A and B are shown apart, each in its own frame.
Chain A
Amino acid sequence: MKPSRDIEKRIRGIYNHRFQVKTSENLDRKVLTNSLNALDELQMKNSAQTQPNIWRIIMKNRTTKFAAALVTVLLIGSFAYFFLIKGPDIAGVAWAQVAQQVEQARTIIFRMKMETAGLNMTEQGTMAPDSSKVKTREMEATIMTSAEYGTKMEMFSRGKLQQQMYILPREGIMLTVIPEARKYMRIELTNKLLAETKKNTKDPRDMVREFMQSEYTELGQDTIDGIAVEGIEVTDPRIFGGMFEKVVARLWVDLESGWPVLIDMDGDMAEGSVKMHMMMYDFQWSIDIDPGELEPIIPEDYTAMPPVKMPGMDIDSALQGLRKFVELTGHFPRKLNHMSIMKELSENVKFDKDKIMQEEGVTEEEMKNPDYQPSDAMMKRITDIMNDIMPVQAVGMFYMKLVQEEKDPVYYGETVSPDDVDAVLLRWRVGDNEYQVIFGDLTTETVSADRLAELEK
């Protein structure tokens, strides 16, 4: 053995085995008392501190409130979508019993934590179109979902409630309440989208199903909160609708009860520039939920943001989204991954803050005032932008759906421009020997496999 290895081994041996230290009870008492006091003080300080008004935060950025407001919608949309798609049916696999049990759960309550790095986010967890600063942002959510009554999601940032979102299939709406801004937004789900939503509701049940149908590695046993669990790991990027380019997702199930206790996932998006860590935990499966819990509560002094329409997940909506993206940026999205589109859009669509303040007739200081309320003209402008941008989401959603349904989609946005009228921009399988094609001029055609091969040469 090398002398350096020898001495390292000797030091390590003494440190690890001969040198044993245990804290005294007095020390434990002192440290815990001091730490818990510090925690109490911190919590009191946090709760007493006036949180910055959402509009003020937006105006502090070099971008404008418009951008942040609309990307809020985009992000909400992407969350919503996370719960709106369904994967293919599960085949007979191991752990089928877990899947079966989970499948029968009519209600689920759980927490979700997301940590996103690489995407420039505002304090509210929304994406800001300023890529000069790369930050890590955290968002935590409590989700309650009932097959009968719908879904309620409460989103927190640093322990402060930022948004409440309701998906109410019976009413056909998605409702977002933003306490900081004392506003709410109602998004109508079209009949078509609603039908698809009802048919394809996605929640942890579907995620478990996706784990089961994927090729997985067994992780063996571990312990969570004193509960013996067994886990599996999936690295197939097609899981979760191909949302991620690279993914490592793990599912941990209680050995005794068979219920999942933790789903955690690390994923890369936008060519690795955005990294996300997500955990779903503190599950309560199949418990009684008071329907009142899923009824939106909107305080009287809250004002409505103008309504926007949720885009569909069909080819028409996708075409409209591609057209709008070209209008805004001059080119097609380089990739159709949902997050890539959002990132690219935020980098390309800039807003003139000074011009907006001039038009609004206020100074920056006035806009920073927590009591400042945007004018009707401003609100209309925000809504117009939202309605412009919403269809862009449809492209990513549509592409995710194609991936999810294993329709072999291929997209050529990196090489095809709007001038390449005859070039294949996007294609996917629609039959045994048939493919649907969207060309560079955004016309569509159904072609045979042979014809497609010629077009793609």
Chain B
Amino acid sequence: MLEDTLLKLRFNRGDKDSLHRIYEKYKDDLLKLALALLGDIALAEDVLNDSFVGFTKSMGQIHLRGNLKSFLTTCVVNHARNVYRVRKRKKTVPLDDSLPPPVSDINSPEQSVIFDEECQILNNALAQLPYEQREIVILHCCQDLTFRQIAPLQNISANTAKSRYRYGLDKLRTLLNSELD
């Protein structure tokens, strides 16, 4: 926390080393989040790039009180959602609102991605959730964001976020139980 506060402070002044350090510190987590949301490594990389460039443009406006990781997470979530919507409009996303399994994309020799069978099963199950539910499940369950923090991201109330989470979790339970057990 202490380090992040100083990183924000220095980055706000335009310090390049701080920008570098922030990227190094959070790049893997953010890429993982983008990958979990979109299920496609190429898209996830684009999201990481766009999110970080977007973050850079907020230089001088990052509040010291805010949480740096949450701020970056929000950047990634917003960019990932945009990518998802564009793909959906172009009808590259199946009508059932799911994404194709990512195995072929992920096993690229350039990437260091450990994605075993269990991950594949989870990813397949997540891909069968409506995007909003998938996003909430990942943010709350895997990123530890509260419903109050998630709600403004989807422009809904905290209670609605909680309901979506419950629906998503119920569906995931059914899907995972049938696959894993």
| Pairwise interchain contact A35-B142, C-beta atoms closer than 8 A | no
In the complex, B57 has a CB within 8 A of chain A:
yes
- Give the docked Cα–Cα distance between A279 and B31 (Å): 32
- Give chain B residues whose Cβ lies under 8 Å from the Cβ of A10: 176, 180
The interface stretch among B79-87, B91-99, B116-124, B146-154 is: B116-124
Known: A31-B23, A32-B20, A42-B56. A21 touches B28 (CB 8 A): yes
- Give chain B residues whose Cβ lies under 8 Å from the Cβ of A38: 53, 56-57
- Residue in A14, A39, A252, A266 whose beta carbon sits within 8 Å of that of B59 in the complex: A39
| Pairwise interchain contact A136-B63, C-beta atoms closer than 8 A | yes
CB of B108 to closest CB in A, whole Å: 8
- Give chain A residues whose Cβ lies under 8 Å from the Cβ of B35: 21
Chain B 123-143 interface 0/1 with A at a Cβ cutoff of 8 Å (1 = within): 000000000000001100110
In the complex, B161 has a CB within 8 A of chain A:
no
- Residue in A15, A28, A36 whose beta carbon sits within 8 Å of that of B36 in the complex: A15
- Give chain B residues whose Cβ lies under 8 Å from the Cβ of A27: 31, 45, 48-49
In the complex, A22 has a CB within 8 A of chain B:
yes
- Give chain B residues whose Cβ lies under 8 Å from the Cβ of A35: 19, 23, 52-53, 55-56
In the complex, B76 has a CB within 8 A of chain A:
no
In the complex, A222 has a CB within 8 A of chain B:
yes
With CB as the reference atom, state the residue of chain A lying closest to B126.
Answer: A11
The interface stretch among A1-9, A97-105, A449-457 is: A1-9
Give the size category of A's interface with B. Answer: 35 or more
> Which of A11, A12, A26, A252 is packed against the most chain B CB atoms within 10 Å?
A11
In the complex, A257 has a CB within 8 A of chain B:
no
- Give chain B residues whose Cβ lies under 8 Å from the Cβ of A62: none
| Pairwise interchain contact A264-B111, C-beta atoms closer than 8 A | no
In the complex, A180 has a CB within 8 A of chain B:
no
- Give chain A residues whose Cβ lies under 8 Å from the Cβ of B49: 27, 30-31, 34
In the complex, B145 has a CB within 8 A of chain A:
no
- Give chain B residues whose Cβ lies under 8 Å from the Cβ of A8: 141, 169
In the complex, A18 has a CB within 8 A of chain B:
yes
| Pairwise interchain contact A264-B5, C-beta atoms closer than 8 A | yes
- Give chain A residues whose Cβ lies under 8 Å from the Cβ of B53: 31, 34-35, 38
With CB as the reference atom, state the residue of chain B lying closest to A39.
Answer: B56
CB of B122 to closest CB in A, whole Å: 5
| Pairwise interchain contact A14-B173, C-beta atoms closer than 8 A | no
In the complex, A225 has a CB within 8 A of chain B:
yes
- Give the docked Cα–Cα distance between A138 and B45 (Å): 33
- Give chain A residues whose Cβ lies under 8 Å from the Cβ of B14: 39, 42-43, 159
| Pairwise interchain contact B60-A159, C-beta atoms closer than 8 A | yes
Residues of chain B from 20 to 39 with CB closer than 8 A to chain A in the complex: 20, 23, 27-28, 31-32, 35-36
| Pairwise interchain contact A42-B27, C-beta atoms closer than 8 A | no
- Give the docked Cα–Cα distance between A24 and B173 (Å): 33
- Give the docked Cα–Cα distance between A10 and B56 (Å): 35
- Give chain B residues whose Cβ lies under 8 Å from the Cβ of A123: none
| Pairwise interchain contact A223-B141, C-beta atoms closer than 8 A | no
- Give chain B residues whose Cβ lies under 8 Å from the Cβ of A225: 3, 6
| Pairwise interchain contact B63-A115, C-beta atoms closer than 8 A | yes
- Give the docked Cα–Cα distance between A223 and B176 (Å): 41
In the complex, B9 has a CB within 8 A of chain A:
yes
In the complex, B71 has a CB within 8 A of chain A:
no
CB of A135 to closest CB in B, whole Å: 12
| Pairwise interchain contact B60-A113, C-beta atoms closer than 8 A | no
Known: A11-B137, A11-B172, A159-B14. A224 touches B9 (CB 8 A): no
In the complex, B104 has a CB within 8 A of chain A:
no
CB of B176 to closest CB in A, whole Å: 7
| Pairwise interchain contact B113-A16, C-beta atoms closer than 8 A | no
Chain B 149-181 interface 0/1 with A at a Cβ cutoff of 8 Å (1 = within): 000000000000000001001001100100010
| Pairwise interchain contact B13-A159, C-beta atoms closer than 8 A | yes
- Residue in A15, A28, A39, A262 whose beta carbon sits within 8 Å of that of B16 in the complex: A39
In the complex, A60 has a CB within 8 A of chain B:
no
| Pairwise interchain contact A31-B114, C-beta atoms closer than 8 A | no
In the complex, B65 has a CB within 8 A of chain A:
yes
- Give the docked Cα–Cα distance between A270 and B143 (Å): 36
- Give the docked Cα–Cα distance between A266 and B65 (Å): 9
| Pairwise interchain contact B56-A18, C-beta atoms closer than 8 A | no
> Which of A19, A27, A32, A46 is packed against the most chain B CB atoms within 10 Å?
A19
CB of A350 to closest CB in B, whole Å: 31
- Give chain B residues whose Cβ lies under 8 Å from the Cβ of A262: 2, 6
With CB as the reference atom, state the residue of chain A lying closest to B21.
Answer: A225
| Pairwise interchain contact A12-B141, C-beta atoms closer than 8 A | yes
* Further contacts, 5 of them, CB under 8 A, given A19-B122, A35-B23, A262-B2: A15-B142, A21-B111, A22-B28, A42-B59, A136-B63
What are 30 of the A-B contact pairs (CB < 8 Å)? A3-B173, A4-B166, A7-B173, A10-B180, A11-B122, A15-B142, A18-B116, A20-B32, A20-B112, A22-B28, A22-B113, A24-B111, A27-B45, A31-B48, A32-B20, A34-B52, A35-B23, A39-B16, A39-B19, A39-B56, A115-B63, A115-B65, A136-B63, A158-B60, A159-B13, A159-B60, A224-B6, A225-B3, A266-B65, A279-B9
User: Which 6 A/B pairs are nearest by Cβ-Cβ distance?
Assistant: A22-B112, A20-B114, A21-B32, A15-B142, A35-B56, A38-B56
